[in-house]
Amino acid sequence: MSVRGQTVEPNRKRTIRVCRPSVVVLCGPAASGKSTFAARHFRPTQVISSDFCRALVCDEERDQRYPLQTFALVEAIVSQRLSINRLCVVDSTALTFEARKSLRETGRRFQVPVELFMFDLPLETCVDFDRKRERSVGEKVIREHFQIFNQALASVESEGFDRILEIHEDDFESFQIEILYRPVFHFAQETPGKERRSSRAPVLEPSPRC
C-alpha cells in the first residue's frame, strides 16, 4: 500500500484514518477486490455500490444499458448521506475521469474530503479472482479495464483528490480502517446550496484533510 506523497513503512500494520463525513472513491478494474475490501472494512450502509444501484433501477446488476439512471442514483444517495454528514464509500470502477470528477464535485458541494483508493493489482490476479467468482466478467473486459486504469494511475495526481491511496495485492491483511468523526456545525438557518457544512477538525496522520 502507498499513500501518494508519503513514505510508508513496509511490513507494518497500518491504520488508515477516514473521515466521517467524507467520500471515499474506490477505483480499479473489475475483480480487483473493491467490493471485498469495502465489505471487510466498512458497514454495508456506508458502501454505495453501483452494481446494487443498477439492480435497483433495472432489476439486473449486470445490465449495462442504464448508466445514467444508475449513477444518478449513486450520486443521489451520496448527496443525501453527505447532507447528514455520513461517510460514503463509493464502490464502482471509477475508471473514467468524468466518473471521478462527478464524485469529487459532489463531495466539494458538501465541503468534505474526497479520497481515492486505487486497487493496483496485477492483471493475472484479477483474472484469477474473476474466474473463481460466480458472476465473472471475463478476461477481455478486465484487460480493457486495465488499459484505462493504467492511464488513471498516471493522471489522477492532478485531479484534486485530498488523498490517493494505492492498494496492492499483499495489502488486504496489512491495514485497518479507523473512522474519525469530525465535529459538525449546523446552521440555524439553511443557506441555499450550503444546507449543512462541516467545520474543519485537526489534521491527524495520515492526513486526510478533515
Report if residue 36 touches Mg ion, rule: CB under 5 A: no
- Cβ-closest residue to Mg ion? 35
Q: How far is the CB of 53 from ligand ADP (least distance, A)?
A: 14
Report if residue 21 touches ligand ADP, rule: CB under 6 A: no
Quote the CA–CA distance of 87 and 46 in Å, as a whole number.
6
Interface residues for Mg ion in 16-35 (CB under 5 A)?
35
Q: HSE (CB half, 13 Å, CA atoms) of 115? A: 25
Pick the closer one to ligand ADP by CB: 130 or 162: 130
Residue 186 to residues 84, 89, 182, 202: CA-CA distances in angstroms? 10, 23, 13, 18
# binding residues, ligand ADP (CB under 6 A): 12
Sequence-ordered list of residues with C-beta below 8 angstroms from that of 99, at least 6 positions apart, any chain: 71, 92, 93
Interface residues for Mg ion in 141-200 (CB under 5 A)?
none
Report if residue 36 touches ligand ADP, rule: CB under 6 A: yes
Cell numbers standing for residue 108:
466539494
Report if residue 129 touches ligand ADP, rule: CB under 6 A: yes
End-to-end CA distance of the chain: 21
- At residue 27, what is the residue type? C
For residue 96, the SS3 value is coil
Give the binding range for ligand ADP (CB under 6 A) out of 74-82, 106-114, 129-137, 182-190: 129-137
Among 20, 34, 41, 104, binds ligand ADP (CB under 6 A): 34
Report if residue 136 touches ligand ADP, rule: CB under 6 A: no
Q: How far is the CB of 64 from ligand ADP (least distance, A)?
A: 14
Quote the CA–CA distance of 23 and 88 in Å, as a whole number.
5
Q: How far is the CB of 112 from ligand ADP (least distance, A)?
A: 24
Interface residues for ligand ADP in 143-182 (CB under 6 A)?
172
Helix intervals (H) in 61-119: 67-83, 97-109
Cell numbers standing for residue 64:
449495462
Where do contacts with Mg ion occur on this chain (CB under 5 A)?
35
Sites of contact with ligand ADP (CB under 6 A): 28, 30-36, 129, 132-133, 172
